[in-house]
Amino acid sequence: MSDFIIEVDNIHKSYLMGKEAVPALRGVTVKVPRGEMVCLMGPSGSGKTTLLNLLGGLDEPGRGHILIDGQNVVAMDEEQVARLRLHKMGFIFQTFNLLSNFTAFENVEAPMVLHGTLGRKPRRERARLLMEQVGLADRMDHYPSELSGGQQQRVAIARALANDPPIIIGDEMTGDLDSQTGFEVMTLIRQLNQAHGKTVIFVTHDPRMADFADRTIHMLDGVIHREEHNHDLGERT
């Protein structure tokens, strides 16, 4: 097995706008070792979301290879990609994307229903445990509209963890939160990374959130133009 849980090799991606191809990624190579927490930064339009979408198999690159836990996403059909996503990756978005007609508890339970491995009782047990883990034991039966932004994002984190994926992918997950709440969410993510060995790759515009990562990759116009390792984390966390 490869030491890298995510391997992106020289990917290119263009979007077709009418007859014109708009390049979004122009030869990006990223290797993420198991258990690393990586931050992606860069100006609007530099290709960050495009890269995350390709990792999740939500879109296809024009060129290049993407291996997730040794499996070639680019060669998979839609069903295989969906299964890979369900087992290997938990996604967290800026706008939480919870199902509004479902309670917090049901939102966390939903991916396990899709996964189909756990029976009803152990599934509900696990949903309860995850809600406790994100500090929302007393909010199980609330609907998303009855929760604060930070609480909704913690439900989304619990949901992302439902099937115990080794990888967490976040796109501006603190973007809609005030900085105090954003810090709480990032502290939780960092804890999942350090205590549970989750590999994390997340996009942020906020340098203070980038400080939570082991490494920051700076993108510009569809390429990686700079990377830096954060060495002082041991003292801070």
Ligand X SMILES: Nc1ncnc2c1ncn2[C@@H]1O[C@H](COP(=O)(O)OP(=O)(O)OP(=O)(O)O)[C@@H](O)[C@H]1O
Q: Which is nearer to ligand X, 20 or 77 (CB)?
A: 20
The count of other CB atoms within 10 Å of the CB of residue 215 is 18
The amino acid present at 80, given as its one-letter code, is Q
Q: Which is nearer to ligand X, 132 or 227 (CB)?
A: 227
Q: Choose, by CB under 5 A, the member of 6, 7, 13, 49 that binds Mg ion.
A: 49
Class of residue 223 by CB neighbours under 10 A (exposed 0-12, middle 13-18, buried 19+): middle
Q: Which residue is nearest to Mg ion (CB)?
A: 49
Give least dist CB 149 to ligand X, A: 19
Angle at 107 between CA 102 and CA 112, to 5 degrees: 130
Q: How far is CA 117 from the centre of its chain?
A: 22
Torsion of CA 76, 48, 201, 137, to 10 degrees: -100
Binding track, positions 2-41, relative to Mg ion; x by CB under 5 A: ----------------------------------------
Q: 186 vs 192, which CB is nearer to ligand X?
A: 186
CB closer to ligand X, 33 vs 64 = 64
In whole angstroms, the minimum distance from the beta carbon of 175 to ligand X comes to 9
46 near Mg ion (CB under 5 A) = no
Could you list the residues that contact ligand X (CB under 6 A)? Answer: 15, 17, 22, 24, 42, 44-50
Size of the site for Mg ion (CB under 5 A): 1
Residue 77 CB, nearest approach to ligand X (Å): 22
Does residue 204 belong to the site contacting Mg ion (CB under 5 A)?
no
Longest dimension (CA), the chain: 53
Is there binding between residue 163 and Mg ion (CB under 5 A)?
A: no
Nearer to ligand X, 55 or 147 (CB): 55
d(CA 154, CA 25): 31
166 binds, among ligand X, Mg ion, none (CB under 5 to 8 A by kind): none
For residues 163 and 216, which CB has a smaller minimum distance to Mg ion in the complex? 216
15 binds, among ligand X, Mg ion, none (CB under 5 to 8 A by kind): ligand X
CA–CA gap between residue 96 and residue 181 (Å, rounded):
14
116, 205, 229, 236 from 215: Cα distances, Å:
35, 15, 4, 15
List % helix, strand, coil for the chain (3-state, nearest 5): 40, 30, 30
**Which stretches of the chain bind Mg ion, using CB under 5 A?**
49
